[in-house]
């Protein structure tokens, strides 16, 4: 036991001597916040969505991922940190932070949204160098009715700057725009579904007027007493649809008959052929459109086994 403790102590000391990994990223050319909004009641009553369009401008994009070096931070009006979220991208982009109703801050308060380098990476943070703060005013707070319009406006601003198409001709997010905005605002599809472009179309279908005389005849032959009896039996095992109960009864008879014939002749082909005769008789007895389906299934199985039987005989 003492030996194990000595090894653990030695390992701990060695770990303390290992230097921590320090990212080599430098300060950006500039960091700005273009727009900041707070939307209320977007998913549930009393919740809040903090949305920011920012620009962490580097002359050349750093090798380090933005999610490892930069973040959005939210502080309340008294300066307490509410939460952080890593940025996904450098340069001109968007990000958001969602607060459930139980976490929401007082509406209209002078809360602060911050785009900054992570303190663990940059160490000291300097406003305007590697950090930018926006103190919210009452005019930055909106109800959810404005969310869709603001998102489309923000997409237009990014579209002009990025020189790529984010919107459809009807001012909805196309596939590219939807990808960026859903990454920045998870759940936006539920908050403002009307801003997403959809592809609709129609398929020409030739409708066929089927003749149901045969299935109607089968159903007439079944009789109320027989159907009711089987229906009650189905309820005993948790099946409350009489048609489906009869279907499984018919298929059970089919398998029982096929099994008996197969045991007698030693050939599965003859078992299937004999079983189908039982299936057809039960279908006529019990009746209904669904039993027509049972007969078709049985016929298909019979044909398949018949082909296999012929192949074996002729081989």
Tell me if 110 sits within 8 A of 33, measured CB to CB.
no
CA dihedral 271, 272, 277, 279 (to 10 degrees): 120
E strand intervals along the chain: 30-40, 48-57, 70-75, 81-86, 91-99, 112-117, 131-135, 141-143
Q: What is the pLDDT of residue 232?
A: 66
What is the DSSP pairing of strand 70-75 with strand 81-86? antiparallel
CA dihedral 247, 248, 252, 255 (to 10 degrees): 70
Q: What is the pLDDT of residue 164?
A: 95
Q: Angle between the 175-184 and 147-162 helix axes, to the nearest 10 degrees?
A: 110
Comparing 26-35, 51-60, 260-269, which segment has the lowest mean pLDDT? 260-269
**Predicted confidence band of residue 260 (pLDDT cuts 50, 70, 90):** confident
Tokens 């700005």 belong to 32
pTM given for the model: 0.58
**Predicted confidence band of residue 3 (pLDDT cuts 50, 70, 90):** very low
* Rounded distance between C-alpha atoms, residue 31 and residue 134, angstroms: 12
Q: What is the pLDDT of residue 2?
A: 46
Q: What is the pLDDT of residue 13?
A: 43
Comparing 41-50, 109-118, 129-138, 260-269, which segment has the lowest mean pLDDT? 260-269
234 contact partners, CB below 8 Å, separation of at least 6: 240, 241, 242, 244, 245
Q: 155 pLDDT exceeds 80?
A: yes
Total residue length of the chain:
315
181 contact partners, CB below 8 Å, separation of at least 6: 94, 151, 155, 173, 188
Average pLDDT taken over every residue of the chain:
79
240 contact partners, CB below 8 Å, separation of at least 6: 234
What is the DSSP pairing of strand 141-143 with strand 70-75? unpaired
* Rounded distance between C-alpha atoms, residue 267 and residue 257, angstroms: 13
Read off the pLDDT of residues 31-66 as tens digits, 9 standing for 90 and up. 999 999 999 999 999 999 999 999 999 999 999 999
Centroid of chain to Cα 114: 31
DSSP class of 45: T
The helix or strand, by DSSP H or E, that contains position 54, with its residue range, turns out to be strand 48-57
Comparing 66-75, 150-159, 261-270, which segment has the lowest mean pLDDT? 261-270
312 contact partners, CB below 8 Å, separation of at least 6: none
């Amino acid at each position: 036991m003492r030996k194990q403790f000595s090894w653990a102590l030695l390992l701990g000391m060695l770990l303390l001597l290992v230097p921590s990994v320090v990212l080599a990223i430098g300060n950006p050319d500039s960091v700005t916040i273009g727009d900041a909004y707070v939307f209320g009641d977007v998913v549930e009553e009393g919740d809040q969505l903090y949305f920011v369009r920012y620009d962490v401008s580097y002359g050349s994009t750093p090798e380090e991922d933005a999610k490892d070096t930069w973040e959005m931070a939210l502080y309340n009006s008294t300066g307490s940190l509410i939460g952080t979220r890593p940025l996904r991208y450098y340069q001109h982009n968007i990000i958001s932070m969602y607060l459930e109703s139980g976490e929401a801050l007082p509406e209209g308060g002078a809360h602060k949204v911050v785009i900054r380098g992570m303190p663990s990476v940059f160490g000291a943070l300097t406003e305007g160098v590697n950090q930018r703060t926006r103190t919210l005013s009452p005019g930055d707070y909106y109800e959810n009715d404005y969310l869709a319009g603001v998102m489309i406006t923000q997409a237009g601003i990014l579209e002009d700057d990025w020189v790529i198409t984010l919107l459809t001709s009807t001012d909805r997010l196309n596939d590219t725009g939807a990808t960026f905005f859903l990454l920045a605002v998870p759940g936006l599809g539920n908050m403002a579904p009307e801003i997403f472009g959809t592809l609709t179309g129609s398929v020409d279908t030739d409708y066929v007027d089927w003749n149901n005389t045969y299935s109607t005849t089968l159903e007439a032959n079944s009789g109320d007493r027989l159907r009711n009896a089987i229906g009650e039996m189905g309820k005993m095992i948790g099946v409350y649809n009489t048609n489906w109960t009869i279907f499984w009864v018919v298929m059970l008879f089919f398998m029982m008959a096929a099994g008996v014939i197969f045991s007698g002749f030693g050939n599965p082909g003859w078992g299937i052929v004999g079983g189908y005769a039982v299936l057809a008789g039960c279908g006529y007895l019990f009746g209904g459109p669904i039993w027509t389906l049972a007969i078709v299934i049985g016929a298909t199985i019979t044909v398949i086994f018949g082909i296999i039987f012929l192949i074996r005989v002729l081989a």
